[in-house]
Chains A and B, each alone.
Chain A
C-alpha cells in the first residue's frame, strides 16, 4: 500500500503540488439484522481505494480512485493537481497550514475478540433469541435486532514525510420492540436507539450488553407506553439519561465548535455556528459544573472518535471545550488553527472513506462526570421528568434552538419515579440549557456512547463520533413542546 501512496505523492509533486497527503484505505463491514424472528440483512462488504489531497497554485484539489495500479494512481494524482489549479481560478487568499511534525507509526485499536472471527451462527443465534424474547410479550407488533462490525485500515502518507498505518475495529449492536395499537406507534430500544451502542471494540461489546436480559423489559415498556400518561406541557425540571445527553452534547456542543462551520465553510449545507470567534474565552456556555472535552486519545475510552492520528497526520489530542462553564476551545485542522491563535491543529480532520476529503469532525466530545449518584439525584428531585433514549432530534442551522423527543419518560415526584410518561419531549436555547445544569452524575454512571450516523459535508460523509455522558439534571426547561398544538 505504501508504494501506491508514495507513487501518488511523487506524481503530485512532479505536477506542481506544493503539499500533498494521501490515504489508501481498506474498509470491511458485516451487517446482520433480524426482524420478527426472521433474518433480515445478512451482508458483507469491502472497499479499497486511494484518495489524494493536494495544494497547487495556492488552492486545494482532491481526487480518488479504486483503480489501484500505477497508472490508476498516477492518473488520480494528476487529476487532483488539475482540480487544484482549477480551484485557483476562484481563490481569494492563500492557504496557511499550521506546522506539524512528520510521524512514522503503526497503531491498532485494542480489542479482545475479533467480531469477524466469531461464528456467524453464534451471532445470529443470539439475535434471534433476543428477537424471540421480545415477541413473547403480547402487544408487540415489530421486533428488530442488529449487529454491525467494521474493520478499517488506513495508510496515510504526506509530502512532509509522515507514514502512518492505523487499524480500527468497530462493533455495534442493539435491539428494539415496536407496538402499534389504536392510533399510536410506540417503540423502545436497548441500549440506545438507532442501532444500539457502537464503539471501538470487538465482540466483547456485544457480550457486555446482555441482550437477552433486557429483551423482555424493552418489549414490555413498548406496550406499556400506550396506556401511559401523555407527557405534560410545562416548564420544569428535566433529568436526561446518558444516551439522550450524549446526543444533546453532539448537537448543541459538538457541531457548534467545528471551526469550519464557524468560518462559514458549511454555510450552504450543514450550517454555521453561533460560536463566532469573538466568543472564545468569553462566552458563559454552561453552569460552573459543566466541563466538556474533545478527546481522541485512547485514555479517554474506546469511542467512535478514538484514534492515534487524524486523517491529516496530526496526533490525537485532548482539547478543553468548556471549562467550569466557560467556552475554551474549537475543533480545528491545520488550515484553520491559526485563526483562533493556535500554533497547532487540534487533530480533528477525519474522512469516511478513501473517496472522501477529510473535513473537521467531532472526535469524542464528552461531558466530564460530576459528583452525584443517580439514586441521590432522583431523591433530590422533588418534581421533575426523566427522559431516556432518543426518538427525534432537531436543531437550527446555527445551533441555538433545539428540540428533542425521547422514547420514554418518567414523572418524578418526591424523589421517586412515580409513573411512566409517553411522547416526552423538551426544547430550548443551547446556552440557556447548559447554564441550567445543576447536577451531573459521577463516573460510575458515565459511558462513552457512540453516534454512528453523523452526516456532514458535500458530498455527504457519515462519521462515527463518541460522547461520554452520565445522567444530568436541568432546571426550568420547556417540556412537552413537540406535542403542543396551538
Chain B
C-alpha cells in the first residue's frame, strides 16, 4: 500500500467486452485525469474524483399486466478538493469542461468556507486490489421484450390460478471508479438482475424474490410458482393471540432484521456512542452459533472491492461464535484507534465514517423442512415489513409480518395466520437461535442484500395483531 509500489489500478469485470453500454476503462481514466488537471490549475492542493455510471431498466407489473416500464442512463462526477487542511465535495452530471471547472470551483469554495480540520489525512496513495468478476454479458443484454415475456408468463400463471400478480423484473449494469492526485485509481463494474413477485388470492398474499449478478441465477417462473402456491396456502388466515412464539424466519425475514446491525459495527458509531456495541465488544453478546463477517469477496456478494477513498476492502470477522470481535475502519477512524483501515469508509467528507456493507452470516445444516419438522408449535415467517428501530442500544426493532405467516404445529404447516406486529431485540434474538439453514444471498425490502441463513428462533415477541 505504500506510494513506492508500482502503480496499479484495478479493472474488474474484464469480460465486459463490447456488450456493455458503459464507458470504457480508458474513458474513465481520461475523465478522471481531466478533472485532476483542471483542479490543479484551479488551485486544489489535492483532488479525488469519483465517477459513477448506471444503465438500468425495470419492468413493473400489477393486476396481471405491465403498468410501468422504465429505463435510465446516468453518469455523475464527484470531485473532492483539499486545500489548506480543508476539504469539500461537489457533484455534477454535466461532463463538459466548463461544467467540471464550475464543480471544482464549487468544491474549493465550500472547502475554503470552513475551519481547518486537524484530523484530515492526505489522500490515499496507490493501492493493490484483489480482482473480482461480476459482470455478466447475458444480464447486460437483457431486453424489454425479454422481461415482458417473463412477466407475461408469471401473470398467466396467476390468471390460471385465479390470482393477481404484482412485481418487478429489473436488470442493469453499473460501474464506479475513483482516482486521485496521488495516482490512486480503481474501477469496478457489475451487472445485476432482480425478480420480485407478490401473488394475491382473495385477501391473502405471498411473495418471492431473487437478486443476482447473473440473470441465469434468477428463475422468474419458479419464483412465481412458489409465491402462487404460498398465496393459496395463506388464504383463510386465523387470528392468534400475540405473545412469544418460536419462529422460523425464511432468509428474507432474517435478513431484514439482522441487516439493521450493519452500522453498529462502524468504528465511528462506537466512537459516537450510538452503537449497540458500546461497552459490549469482546463479550458473549449472541449465541455461540452466531458468526458474522464482512466479506465483499464472498461469491454471493456484489459491490466494489474498495471504499470511498479507494482503500481495498478487507474481509473482517465481526462476530466470532457470538462475541463481537472487530469493527470496520475508515482511514481517519483507523488512525485515531491505531488500527489499519479496513476499506469500509464512505466518500469524504461525511459524519458517518464507515460501515460493513457485505455481511456474511455463517450458516448451518438445517433445511427449512427440518426446522418445521422439529417445531411443536411455532410460526413460519415469509417476510417482514416496515421495520424501524425502537431502542438503539437494546436494538429493539418493530415491524410487521407480511405476505405469508403460517402456524406450525407438531412438525407441519397447519394453517395461515393473521399478520402480527413484533417488538423484538435483535440482540436477544441472536441469543435465541436454535437452528440455522445454509447461508444464501438473501434479498428483502428493508436491508440491502446480504448472505444470511434461515433461522429458527425461540421466544420471538409479537405484541399485536392486525386485521388481515
Q: List residues of chain A with CB under 8 Å of any chain B CB.
A: 33-36, 38-49, 51, 59-67, 76, 79-80, 82-84, 86-87, 89-93, 119-121, 124, 128, 141-142, 144, 178, 180, 183-185, 263-269, 271, 274, 355-357, 359, 391-398, 400-401, 403, 405, 423, 425, 427, 429, 458-459, 478, 481-486
Q: Within the assembled complex, what's the spacing in Å between the Cα atoms of A106 and B65?
A: 37
Question: Which residues of the other chain, A, contact B466 by a CB distance below 8 angstroms?
Answer: 396, 398, 400-401, 429
Q: Which single residue of chain A is at the shortest CB-CB distance from B53?
A: A66
CA gap between A43 and B396 in the complex, in Å: 33
**Closest residue of B by beta carbon distance from A398:** B468
Query: Which chain A residues border B127 with CB–CB below 8 Å?
Result: none
B375 at the interface (CB under 8 A from A): no
CA distance A146 to B368 in the complex (A): 46
Q: Mark B390-403, 1 if CB is under 8 A from A, else 0.
A: 11111010111011
CA of A39 to CA of B117, assembled, Å: 8
The answer to whether B272 and A142 have CB atoms under 8 Å apart is: yes
Select B207's contact among A63, A89, A268, A483, beta carbons within 8 Å.
A268
Other A-B pairs, 20, CB within 8 Å; known A89-B149, A401-B465, A427-B421: A39-B114, A39-B117, A41-B349, A45-B78, A60-B67, A60-B69, A62-B69, A120-B110, A120-B113, A264-B63, A264-B200, A267-B166, A274-B467, A394-B388, A398-B466, A405-B390, A425-B390, A459-B58, A482-B423, A483-B423
Give the contact stretch, choosing among B91-99, B131-139, B309-317: B91-99
4 interchain residue pairs of minimum CB distance? A40-B351, A86-B144, A120-B113, A401-B466
> Are A267 and B200 within 8 A (Cβ)?
yes
> Which residues of B (197-222) have their CB < 8 Å from a CB of A?
197-198, 200, 205, 207
Could you say which residues of chain B place their CB within 8 Å of the CB of A65?
72-73
The residue on B at minimum CB distance from A265 is: B62
Q: How far is the CA of A184 from the CA of B392 in the complex (A)?
A: 8
- Judged by a CB distance under 8 angstroms, whether B281 is at the interface is no
- B445 engages A269 (CB within 8 Å): yes
**Which of A76, A84, A264 lies in contact with B164, CB distance below 8 A?**
A264
CB proximity of B415 to chain A, nearest CB, Å = 20
Chain A residues near B115: list those with CB within 8 A. Answer: 39, 128
CB proximity of A282 to chain B, nearest CB, Å? 17
CB neighbours of A482 from chain B (8 A): 390-391, 396, 398, 423, 463
Q: Mark B260-296, 1 if CB is under 8 A from A, else 0.
A: 0000000000001110001000000000000000000
Measured between alpha carbons, how far is A65 from B70 in the docked complex, in Å? 11
Please determine whether B148 and A185 come into contact, CB atoms closer than 8 angstroms. Answer: no
Q: Are A61 and B69 in contact (CB under 8 A)?
A: yes
7 contacts between A and B (CB under 8 A): A40-B351, A49-B93, A64-B72, A65-B72, A142-B273, A481-B464, A483-B396
Q: How far is the CA of A49 from the CA of B95 in the complex (A)?
A: 12
Determine if B68 and A60 form an interchain contact, defined as CB atoms under 8 angstroms apart: yes
Q: Which of B316-370 contact A (CB under 8 A)?
A: 349-351
When A and B form their complex, what is the total count of cross-chain residue pairs whose Cβ atoms lie within 8 Å? 282
How far apart are A21's CB and chain B's nearest CB, in angstroms? Answer: 14
User: In the complex, are the beta carbons of B106 and A394 less than 8 A apart?
Assistant: no
Using known A-B contacts A44-B107, A185-B393, determine if residue A86 contacts B69 with beta carbons closer than 8 Å. Answer: yes
| A48 vs B99: C-alpha distance when bound (angstroms) | 12
A178 interface neighbour in B88, B91, B243, B273, Cβ under 8 Å: B273
Whether the pair A47, B273 counts as a contact (CB closer than 8 A) is: no
Given known A268-B168, A481-B423, A482-B396, contact A93–B110 (CB-CB < 8 A): no
Whether A400 contacts B168 by the Cβ 8 Å rule is no
**For B390, what are the chain A residues with a Cβ–Cβ distance below 8 Å?**
391-392, 405, 425, 482-483
Instruction: List residues of chain A with CB within 8 A of the CB of B465.
Output: 401
Interface residue? B417 (CB, 8 A): no
| Residue numbers in B under 8 Å from A355 (CB-CB) | 72, 74
Please pick, from B349, B386, B423, the residue contacting A484 in the complex, using a CB distance under 8 A. Answer: B423
Residue of B nearest to A124 (CB): B114
- With the chains together, A136 CA to B403 CA distance in Å? 49
Q: Is the CB of B386 within 8 A of A394?
A: yes
Contacts of B175 in A (CB 8 A): none
Interface pair A393/B388, CB less than 8 Å apart: yes
Once bound together, how far apart are the Cα atoms of A397 and B204, in whole Å?
Answer: 12
Tell me if A142 and B274 are in contact (CB < 8 A): yes
- The minimal Cβ–Cβ distance linking B200 to chain A, given in whole angstroms, is 6
Rounded to whole angstroms, the CA-CA distance of A36 and B352 in the bound complex is 12
Contact B166 A265 (CB under 8 A): yes
Q: Does B306 touch A at the CB level, under 8 Å?
A: no
By a CB distance below 8 angstroms, the chain A residues around B75 are 66
B108 to chain A, nearest CB (A): 11
Contact in complex: B72, A92 (CB < 8 Å): no
Q: Are A458 and B60 CB-contacts (below 8 A) given A142-B274, A394-B387?
A: yes
* A46 contact set on B, CB distance < 8 A: 91-94, 103
Chain B residues with CB under 8 A of A90: 61, 65-66, 148-149, 151-152, 155
Check B386–A396 contact: CB distance below 8 A. yes
Q: Is the CB of B423 within 8 A of A66?
A: no
Q: Is the Cβ of A43 less than 8 Å from the Cβ of B349?
A: yes
Contact between chains at A43 and B152 (CB < 8 Å): no
B425-468, CB under 8 A of A: which get 1 and which 0?
00000000000000000000100000000000000010111111
The smallest C-beta distance from B331 to any residue of chain A, in angstroms, reads 16
CB contact under 8 A between A62 and B463, given known A89-B152, A142-B272: no
**Of A44, A178, A265, A391, which one neighbours B106 at CB under 8 angstroms?**
A44
Q: Verify if B90 is at the interface (C-beta below 8 Å from A).
A: yes
Shortest distance in angstroms between B257's beta carbon and chain A's nearest beta carbon? Answer: 13
Task: Please tell me if the beta carbons of A485 and B461 are within 8 angstroms of each other in the complex.
Answer: yes
Residue in A36, A82, A392, A397 whose CB lies within 8 Å of B385: A397
- The reply to whether the CB of B64 lies closer than 8 angstroms to some CB of chain A is yes
Known contacts A120-B109, A355-B74, A397-B386; A45/B90 CB under 8 A: yes
User: Is B59 part of the binding interface, using a Cβ–Cβ cutoff of 8 Å?
Assistant: yes
B91 touches A43 (CB 8 A): yes
